[in-house]
């Protein structure tokens, strides 16, 4: 396997290019920051057209992980990896095991997890070669599917937004529109129903719609009409960039709070555009940190514990309130306030000196 490094690209601490023609591996591991702890982030497998496209993606995604971990108060840095390939055609045991060796060569600086195109079985192949893996099945001491915990975190963020906007965190009778009734959206519907909310939703997959209509009483609307639904809260739980020039003027809600990553198409333009419409925006990387909090619990303390993960995830309520407070006192959009929270924490901890990873203890895995 060939591994070479590029240091100092976009201020990332390390960028590792890994290739092995024998097994068809072409991958990049980006470590954006390890100020707060080891860089944790998913491995994405995607048929990028060029290496440059893959590099742009992994640099952007790894930086996002630094912000997410910092704002959630975790002792984790930000990292991400991409494997260039088609997940439907190019997967093999040798490819994932070779990639596992590349991760291992970093000695714990980067810790991997599942992402788009990579499933639990692939992660278990990576685990054959390195212990720096999270998100594996409970059979391997992992936490399994993070979606329930992510949805539970989104619920905390929605409650905080309701408290800020209406002076009351109760969701009883609130009309909430969910775009995307997949893993997170489905569990969110379950939690919201328990809280007495009235649910509207859509999914491009009719099976998911049917399931959520039957199980949680979700009123189904056509996917194209979800932005026009009159509601109190809009919860994007499908794709990124859904808050854009076309959709923001159509929204008829008081609050936007959902799980999807990178919801603002162009943050600098669409953050203020949402403010101008008088809508409260719960920044995505603060509200959807439950999944990261979940895997963090896998590698800290005495091993994974769901109760502990949920307890820590409840903290998203206070994290969100802090963001709203800063947004108000400093007169900046909420996404700017969230960035500030993350940047200030990294800057403060950086004063401790490099590799000060607090009390984070990496648990040994049976490999
Ligand atoms: P998922 O694939 O299980 O669910 C997404 C759902 O959205 C699918 O059912 C899909 O059919 C539907 N969808 C796609 N395009 C749509 C459209 N235009 N209109 C309506 N529905 C559409 O994914 P997930 O794990 O539930 O993640 C949802 C979002 O939350 C993603 O943006 C993901 O990056 C983000 N997120 C997920 C987690 C997690 O723990 N799974 C953690 C953090 C962030």
CATH number for 257: 3.40.50.720
Residue 271 CB–ligand 1 contact under 6 Å: no
250-277: average pLDDT: 97
The answer to whether position 281 is within a domain reads yes
150-167: average pLDDT: 98
The answer to whether position 202 is within a domain reads yes
> What is the average pLDDT score of the chain?
93
Identify whether residues 127 and 151 lie together within a single domain: no
Which residues make Cβ contacts (< 8 Å) with residue 82, sequence separation at least 6?
Answer: 27, 28, 43, 44, 45, 46, 48, 54, 57, 58, 61
264-279: average pLDDT: 97
Identify whether residues 111 and 227 lie together within a single domain: no
The answer to whether position 353 is within a domain reads no
Using the predicted structure, report yes or no on whether residue 110 has a pLDDT greater than 90: yes
List the CATH number of the domain containing 108. Answer: 3.40.50.10860
Identify whether residues 178 and 277 lie together within a single domain: yes
What is the pLDDT, as a whole number, of residue 366? 41
Range of the domain at 180: 147-346
Q: How confident is the model over 179-233, as pLDDT tens digits?
A: 999 999 999 999 999 999 999 999 999 999 999 999 999 999 999 999 999 999 9
Identify whether residues 266 and 175 lie together within a single domain: yes
The answer to whether position 31 is within a domain reads yes
The answer to whether position 275 is within a domain reads yes
**Residues with catalytic annotation?**
80
The answer to whether position 72 is within a domain reads no
Residue 203 CB–ligand 1 contact under 6 Å: yes
How many folded domains does the chain comprise?
2
238 C-alpha to center of ligand 1: Å? 4
Identify whether residues 37 and 165 lie together within a single domain: no
Q: Of the given ranges (13-27, 291-305, 339-353), which has the lowest mean pLDDT?
A: 291-305
Residue 301 CB–ligand 1 contact under 6 Å: no
**Index of the ligand 1 atom closest to the CA of residue 239:** 32
3-state secondary structure 131-153: CCECCCCHHHCCCCCCHHHHHHH
314-322: average pLDDT: 98
Using the predicted structure, report yes or no on whether residue 158 has a pLDDT greater than 90: yes
**Are the C-beta atoms of residues 330 and 337 closer than 8 Å to each other?**
yes
CA distance 34 to 31: 7
Identify whether residues 331 and 231 lie together within a single domain: yes
Please name the residue whose Cα sits nearest to atom 20 of ligand 1: 203
Identify whether residues 340 and 209 lie together within a single domain: yes
Banded model confidence at residue 362, pLDDT cuts 50, 70, 90: low
Identify whether residues 116 and 188 lie together within a single domain: no
Using the predicted structure, report yes or no on whether residue 9 has a pLDDT greater than 60: no
CA distance 125 to 34: 25
Identify whether residues 157 and 82 lie together within a single domain: no
Identify whether residues 158 and 59 lie together within a single domain: no
291 C-alpha to center of ligand 1: Å? 13
What is the pLDDT, as a whole number, of residue 4? 65
Residue 119 CB–ligand 1 contact under 6 Å: no
187 C-alpha to center of ligand 1: Å? 11
Q: Of the given ranges (153-167, 204-218, 266-280, 350-364), which has the lowest mean pLDDT?
A: 350-364
- CA 167 to chain centroid, in Å, comes to 28
The answer to whether position 358 is within a domain reads no
Banded model confidence at residue 367, pLDDT cuts 50, 70, 90: very low
Identify whether residues 101 and 236 lie together within a single domain: no
What is the pLDDT, as a whole number, of residue 105? 96
List Cβ<8 Å contacts ≥24 apart for 112-116: 112/40, 112/41, 112/42, 112/43, 112/81, 113/40, 113/41, 113/42, 113/43, 113/295, 114/42, 114/43, 115/41, 115/42, 115/43, 115/44, 115/45, 115/80, 116/42, 116/44, 116/45, 116/46
Identify whether residues 185 and 95 lie together within a single domain: no
The answer to whether position 360 is within a domain reads no
Banded model confidence at residue 58, pLDDT cuts 50, 70, 90: very high
Task: Calculate what percentage of the chain has a pLDDT beyond 70.
Answer: 94
């Amino acid at each position: 396997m060939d591994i070479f490094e590029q240091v100092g690209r976009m201020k990332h601490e390390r960028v590792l290019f890994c290739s092995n023609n024998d097994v068809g591996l072409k991958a990049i591991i980006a470590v954006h920051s390890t100020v707060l702890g080891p860089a944790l982030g998913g491995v994405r497998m995607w048929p990028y057209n060029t290496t440059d496209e893959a590099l742009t993606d992994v640099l952007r995604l790894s930086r996002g992980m630094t912000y997410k971990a910092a704002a959630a108060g975790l002792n984790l840095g930000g990292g991400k990896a991409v494997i260039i390939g088609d997940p439907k055609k190019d997967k093999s045991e040798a490819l994932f095991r070779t990639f596992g060796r590349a991760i291992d060569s970093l000695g714990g600086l980067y810790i991997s997890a599942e992402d788009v195109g990579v499933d639990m079985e692939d992660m278990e192949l990576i685990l054959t070669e390195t212990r720096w893996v999270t998100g594996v099945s409970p059979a391997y001491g992992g936490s399994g599917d993070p979606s329930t915990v992510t949805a539970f975190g989104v619920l905390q963020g929605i409650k905080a937004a309701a408290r800020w906007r209406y002076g009351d965190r109760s969701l009883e009778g609130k009309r909430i529109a969910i775009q995307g009734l997949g893993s997170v959206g489905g569990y969110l519907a379950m939690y919201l129903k328990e809280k007495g909310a009235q649910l509207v939703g859509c999914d491009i997959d009719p099976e998911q719609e049917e399931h959520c209509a039957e199980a949680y009483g979700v009123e189904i609307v056509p996917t194209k009409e979800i932005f026009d639904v009159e509601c109190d809260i809009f919860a994007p739980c499908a794709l990124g960039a859904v808050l854009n020039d076309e959709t923001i003027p159509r929204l008829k809600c008081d609050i936007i709070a959902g799980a999807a990553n990178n919801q603002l198409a162009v943050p600098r333009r669409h953050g203020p555009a949402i403010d101008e419409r008088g809508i409260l925006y719960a920044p995505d990387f603060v509200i959807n940190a439950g999944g990261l909090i979940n895997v963090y619990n896998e590698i800290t303390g005495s091993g994974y514990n769901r109760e502990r993960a949920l307890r820590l995830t409840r903290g998203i309520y206070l994290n969100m309130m802090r963001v709203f407070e800063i947004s108000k006192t400093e007169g900046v959009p909420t996404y700017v306030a969230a960035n500030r929270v993350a940047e200030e924490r990294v800057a403060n901890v950086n004063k401790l000196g490099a590799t000060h990873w607090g009390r984070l203890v990496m648990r040994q895995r049976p490999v």
